[in-house]
Amino acid sequence: MSYFGGKIAVVTGATTGVGEGIAEELFQRGATVIITGRQLSSAAQTAWRIDPTGQRIIPMEADVRNHLSVKALIDNTVAQFGGLHMLVNNAGITGPHGVNICDYSIDDWNDVINTDLSGTFFGLKYGIPAILQSGGGAIVNLSSSNGIVGIPGIAPYTAAKHGVLGLTRSAALEFADKGVRINAVGPGYVDTPNMQTLPAEVREWMANTHPMKRMATREEVAKAVAFLLSDESSFTTGSFYAVDGGYTAQ
């Protein structure tokens, strides 16, 4: 298992779910991890749960829809901790489900695209220079199994996650010889605390969409992210790493 002692990482949207699992994995490997949420109080609660000492899980408020908020996040991280080595653009929302394109509201479209796609762009725009100035590092963008297939009823989310792959590949090529590796992870359904509140029949349906007949755990996604951030994947950039139980192999 790779050790990240002395490394500074930022994980956006890490107050719960997959982002929280990623932050905890990086923390366990020795990194100092800045976690973000739209409300500082939520980020602070998560930080305290993972690291009651408050020394290596640091909550910061950030709204990835706002480029100035993302710039401030990166600037504050560098100012307080002296650099940035790893960035996980995780913050995202799915938006309303089961709504066809003709009925999808403009406000909901904008919210999904601004969060999932523009938020990733802002992370790259401001994060890459900071990583370069810190001597190089790695970025992982959270796409989805929906990043390479379509699902009816959530077109904005599907479009955004396809777009995340485009950003990942373009940025990876632009910085391949400059010391910053950029990859994307594509989870299927993940058994997060929010998923566990759904009716049993819905959870069963989600599990059965994967050939492995179960959902991923947060830990499985987090370990894939940590691998792509580590030197163990030192010749990997511009890739899409599926963590979907065979979903996109069908």
Catalytic residues: 157
C-alpha–C-alpha distance, residues 74 and 29, integer Å: 22
Q: Residue 196: CB partners within 8 Å, gap ≥ 6?
A: 203
Query: 3-state secondary structure string, 147-158?
Result: HCCCCCCCHHHH
CA-based max dimension of the chain: 50
Distinct helix (H) and strand (E) counts, the chain: 8, 7
Burial (CB count within 10 angstroms: exposed 0-12, middle 13-18, buried 19+), residue 96: middle
CA 104 vs CA 28, 73, 109, 146, 198: distances in Å: 41, 32, 7, 18, 23
